[in-house]
Amino acid sequence: MNPIEHIEELGRNARSASRVLARASTRAKNDALLAIAEAIRNAQDDLQTANATDLAEGRTNGLDAAFLDRLTLNDKAITAMVDGLAQVAALPDPIGEITDLRPQPSGIRVGRMRVPLGVIGIIYEARPNVTIDAAALCLKSGNATILRGGREAIHSNTALAQCISAGLIAAGLPAHGVQVVQTTDRTAVGALITSPQWVDVIVPRGGKSLIERITREARVPVIKHLDGICHVYVDKAADLDMAVQIAFNAKTQRYAPCNTMETLLVAREIAGAFLARIGPLYLEKGVELRGCEETRTILQKVGITAIAATEDDWRTEYLAPILSIRVVEDIDAAMDHIRTYGSSHTDSIVTNHHPRAMRFLREVDSASVMVNASTRFADGFEYGLGAEIGISTDRLHARGPVGSSGASCTASTSNGACFSWARAIARERARSADSVRS
Amino acid sequence: MNPIEHIEELGRNARSASRVLARASTRAKNDALLAIAEAIRNAQDDLQTANATDLAEGRTNGLDAAFLDRLTLNDKAITAMVDGLAQVAALPDPIGEITDLRPQPSGIRVGRMRVPLGVIGIIYEARPNVTIDAAALCLKSGNATILRGGREAIHSNTALAQCISAGLIAAGLPAHGVQVVQTTDRTAVGALITSPQWVDVIVPRGGKSLIERITREARVPVIKHLDGICHVYVDKAADLDMAVQIAFNAKTQRYAPCNTMETLLVAREIAGAFLARIGPLYLEKGVELRGCEETRTILQKVGITAIAATEDDWRTEYLAPILSIRVVEDIDAAMDHIRTYGSSHTDSIVTNHHPRAMRFLREVDSASVMVNASTRFADGFEYGLGAEIGISTDRLHARGPVGSSGASCTASTSNGACFSWARAIARERARSADSVRS
């Protein structure tokens, strides 16, 4: 198969299907989601056979255990996909919603209507469940989708694509509403991301190098997120019980997600008291601590030896049980640190001092900025947006968790400005994020 | 002056000023706007002397009368700038506004806060008034700005820049909050649009070729609008009195703006009655008519000879007293025409049939979609957004009129979605847009 011709064919099909999907009724879209779920349930054996082929090839090619784990479509993974489809069907339909309809002095009424984007291209790694998650969100929001999963999952994805087509047809929607790229040739990706005539936006999901390459080469707008170097700043006016809960949760609830804290900033005035309390908790949990000189001195007093943090530590997204800690003079020093080393993903202040909380919200330039909340709350479900396919750290386009009905934290263009963006803020009282799923 | 070093210096200054402006109080920003107005009033003689130099050079270089007219800073133009500054000062401050703050099941409250974008680069033609309009909007929304006006206006813009700096300093804000590029070397534009470290978004204002070149070469996000090929579709269920008013206003209120109708689509069932009424009005106003075969036959019966429209006519933004007219079978044919030939700017349906009105709103893929309103209403002031610096036809980023507090029609990312955008809809009853200013 010629990969460029293949993308052209998919693109033409998607463009045509997108017009039908854009005006599809909520009922038809939900019927399709549930029919896809049923098709997956009925095809469980075939899916697992196709998946076994991918797994066997993966083993032959020496893929590691974690990789094979993400690639595996066991019963549990299939049930999760089926449940996910039902959840998206249960979400409100974002399309057609009219908001802010207001009379103007001229007598006209002006408002906004939410409509689909058109055709979404999603490029992701070898995780077959993403095929269904992404298809479901795009379908619910009336968009056509072209999915290009990692080549190691090609058999699984092709089998899933058949279930998706069957579901679309059963609901009377165009079978080409969701298409899976049928070639593992990388030329196809190049064609996909440089075809604004077929694709309206590209969403890359995966490692930093994938996202960087796509951003560099794309001629279609890309909604992306890169690093999540998230900070918690414990202010001198923090409730220390709350600060301990939040800082512990933000680091340890899960290590791999992008919204996990990587650097803890502590106001000098309360650093001694606070670090003496939180240090032993991290130690007990097996978190390796890397600190500035002051941090190390304080921790040493409670018998904890922290490694000396280097400049590199402040810039690192560990995604692991490692935490860097820095003592700072005040909120200005904390915000300077975040500005210098952060990745504009999610940053939180713990304080009971209202003016400083407001300054932090206003001056920290991140997609999600929080007061008295764990960074782990930066999540589409937690923000009430439903499933998300990524957290955007862009300034324009979307910002924050991106799901079928919105980026919570939205966009520069949000309430629409060219010149300002809306972003998520979250507050809570002494609450940790144990409920966060992912 | 080395243009690349110059842009670097401006960029560094702007980045630093943007941090101060982002947290500037509403009072300080308004004080600065009014102080700039006062500086302009006080410097009127100097401004006109500088402008006279530009005009003299322009005449020497053979610029045409319309060009020189746009370049001229006469008393009226200066008063308009001063008034514009006062108007922007009177607008509400968009920054810091928190919306949609809602408790979530976890107990956290999540909302959005509007914050500035950072540094805005604006590239425009030789219209000195844009220097002030753009500076005012960006300043009000807490952004730093780098302005690069047409080289034919360099003396005027340099003189205006001094007034702007004086105003900023008087209000205690950084003088580098608004900077004017001090060289006419085109290399400077290239440096400006490829420096994401200094500039967060580029807004090109001007002709299509300027915008296309910037879009092609930019490595900074560009908020742009290209053509305005706007349509009015008169449905078979239209109130013909209203249709006559709207179609006449949409074409003739002003010919040059991008929201002026260029093609009139008429449902076959009422084409005879409607064209017989509107044709003579256009004729009387001196509008040249170019029609499809059916249109020409109908107009011939009332003694009007229309030129045969060619394929090219449907694709042309005349910006002149010329209108193309096509008779179509129904709303589907009208929307097909708009999809094929439109520019996604502004399109309107005239109908009293509610289901067809809703289909048009939902299915026409344009920044502004209207029911029973003139396309001339697509304007930041008319949408209640205040001054605008352009109307975006992008799908991502902003959509529609773009001002200090929002694109009305906003963005894909509007209420935030990756997958849907909000757009303006406007309705009215039998009202034409005589009030529209620009």
The pLDDT score that the predictor gives to residue A389 is 55
The answer for A 186-245 residues in CB contact with B (under 8 A) is: 200-201, 203, 221, 223
Residue B105 has pLDDT above 90, yes or no: no
Cβ(B382)–Cβ(A106) below 8 Å: yes
pLDDT tier, B200 (very low <50, low <70, confident <90, very high otherwise): confident
Q: How much is the pLDDT for B107?
A: 77
CB B389 within 8 A of CB B205: yes
Chain B residues touching A428 at Cβ < 8 A: 106-109
Residues from chain B contacting residue A221 (CB–CB below 8 Å)? 395-397
Q: Provide the pLDDT for residue B393.
A: 53
**Mutation test of the interface with chain B: which of A110, A223, A338, A434, choosing the one with the most B Cβ atoms within 10 A?**
A110
- The mean pLDDT value for B185-190 works out to 91
- pLDDT category at B219 given cuts 50, 70, 90 is confident
CATH superfamily of A230-427: Aldehyde Dehydrogenase; Chain A, domain 2 (3.40.309.10)
A384 Cβ under 8 Å from any chain B Cβ: yes
Q: For the segment B114-128, what is each residue's pLDDT rounded down to a tens digit?
A: 778 889 999 988 889
A417·B118 Cβ contact <8 A: no
Q: Is A419 on the interface with B (CB under 8 A)?
A: yes
Torsion angle in degrees (nearest 10) through CA of A132, A135, A136, A141: 170
CA distance A395 to chain B (A): 7
Judge whether residue B73 has pLDDT over 90: yes
Q: What is the pLDDT at residue A384?
A: 62
CB-based contact, A398 to chain B, within 8 Å: yes
Give A422 to chain B, closest Cα distance, Å: 4
Q: What is the pLDDT of residue A397?
A: 43
> What's the pLDDT band for B387 if we cut at 50, 70, 90?
low
> Which has more pLDDT, A379 or B143?
B143
Provide the ipTM: 0.70
- The answer, yes or no, to whether residue A429 has pLDDT greater than 50, is no
**Mean pLDDT across A98-115:** 76
Best of A415, A437, A438 to disrupt the B interface by mutation (most B CBs within 10 Å)?
A415
Cα B393 to the center of its chain, rounded Å:
10
Q: Does B362 touch chain A (CB under 8 A)?
A: yes
Interface contact A108-B431, CB threshold 8 A: yes
Give the tens place of pLDDT for each residue, A217-266: 887 877 776 678 999 999 999 999 999 999 999 999 999 888 899 999 99
Q: B184: which 2 tokens?
A: 């006419």
Q: What average pLDDT does range B23-44 have in this prediction?
A: 96
Q: Does domain B3-217 have CATH number 3.40.605.10?
A: yes
> Considering only alpha carbons, which residue of chain A is nearest residue B121?
A419
Residues of B in contact with A415 (CB under 8 A): 99, 112, 114, 405-406, 410, 414
Segments making up each domain of chain A, as ranges: 3-217, 230-427
C-alpha B161/C-alpha B145 separation (Å) is 11
Quick check: B110 and A408 CB within 8 A?
A: yes
What integer is the mean pLDDT of A50-72? Answer: 93
Q: What is the pLDDT averaged over residues B406-420?
A: 27
Compute the distance between CA of residue B309 and CA of residue B312 in angstroms, rounded to an integer: 8
Look at A389 and B114 and tell me if their CB atoms are within 8 Å: no
- pLDDT tens, position by position, B258-276: 889 999 999 999 999 999 9
Residue A157 reports pLDDT greater than 70: yes
Instruction: Indicate yes or no: CB of B418 within 8 angstroms of CB of A403.
Output: yes
The per-residue pLDDT for range B242-257, each reduced to its tens digit, is: 999 999 999 999 998 8
Q: Does B438 touch chain A (CB under 8 A)?
A: no
